[in-house]
Amino acid sequence: MSWIRARALVPLACLLGATLVAAAPSDAAAPAARTTEPGWARPLPSGTTQVVRTVSRHQYCDDVWCTVTQAWEKDAEGNWEKVREFRSTIASRGWGKRREGDYRSPGGVFRIKVTFTTSPDNPGEMPWRRRHPTSIVSSSAGSNYNTWLEVAGVTSGDRSSMRSGWVVDYNHVRLRPGVGPRPVPGRGSGIFYHTSKPGHRWAPTAGCTQVGNPKQLRWLLTWLRPEARPRVVQNR
């Protein structure tokens, strides 16, 4: 989903208005779950040793957008260990993204295009870009579809829900106009992992994944390492 509505270049938050009132999970590490190769790990590149995995779970709520996000790490013996698990939410219509504006989140295996924060320094080790009030990813049809832009006059780029996170490499998202493979028009734009705004931790999104507790999203940013060739696994 995008940061701008088509034609008007109006910022579009990934958050919807609905909220769910429930207690957030603690920051305590989840019990380790070990296995040599879970089914979801089979499509991963051989060198990947870190995975952020989001799956449907009705542990905290029963709606279609209720999920958990897990941090998995592969050890030197080839065993996968779940090191943390956090409550999260996805799009209001669940999985199965096919087009712009369908209010669904994409399933599959994806790279992290770039991490971002609104702070002046990178909190972790991954490729990083500072997000400004003028920052958007465009959903407007044309050459800049699904492209990170700085747009004069935009002031919502540093809103609370977008103060930290990363850009999911969905539909050939571009970090600069014209650089990289062209996104497929209308397939969807601006898919992120992001945090929440106050009072809306467990709201559904328009296509992104929201890790509702900002401290937990921050932990993920500091945990990820480029040499681990991390991947995002959704709905697997």
Judge if pTM exceeds 0.75.
yes
- Is 49:73 a contact under the CB 8 Å cutoff? yes
Q: Which of 1-5, 42-46, 144-148 has the lowest mean pLDDT?
A: 1-5
User: For residue 9, which amino acid is it?
Assistant: L
Q: Is the pLDDT score of 24 beyond 60? A: no
Over residues 220-226, mean pLDDT = 98
Question: How many separate domains does the chain show?
Answer: 1
Give how far Cα 166 sits from Cα of 19, 31, 47, 80, 83, Å.
23, 26, 21, 23, 20
Q: What is the pLDDT of residue 37?
A: 86
More confident residue, 26 or 67: 67
Question: At 147, which amino acid appears?
Answer: T
pLDDT tier at 23, thresholds 50, 70, 90: very low
| Distance in angstroms (rounded) separating the CA atoms of residues 175 and 111 | 14
Residue 112, token pair as written in the block: 């992290």
pLDDT at 5 over 70: no
- What is the C-alpha to C-alpha distance for residues 165 and 117, in angstroms, rounded to an integer? 7
* Residue 8 confidence (pLDDT) above 70: no
Burial class for 88, CB neighbours closer than 10 Å (0-12, 13-18, 19+): buried
Q: Is 4 helix (H, G, I), strand (E, B) or coil?
A: strand
pLDDT tens track for 162-193? 999 999 999 999 999 999 999 999 999 999 99
**Res. 21: pLDDT tops 80:** no
Q: What single string gives the DSSP state of each residue in 123-162?
A: SSSS-EEE--TTEEE--SSSTTTTBEEE-TT---TT-GGG
Window from 22-31, 167-176, 186-195, 221-230 with minimum mean pLDDT: 22-31
Query: Domain of 50?
Result: 4-234
Mean pLDDT score across all residues of the chain: 89
pLDDT bin (cut points 50, 70, 90) of residue 205 is very high
Using 50, 70 and 90 to split pLDDT, how confident is the model at 87? very high
pLDDT tens readout for residues 111-140:
999 999 999 999 999 999 999 999 999 999
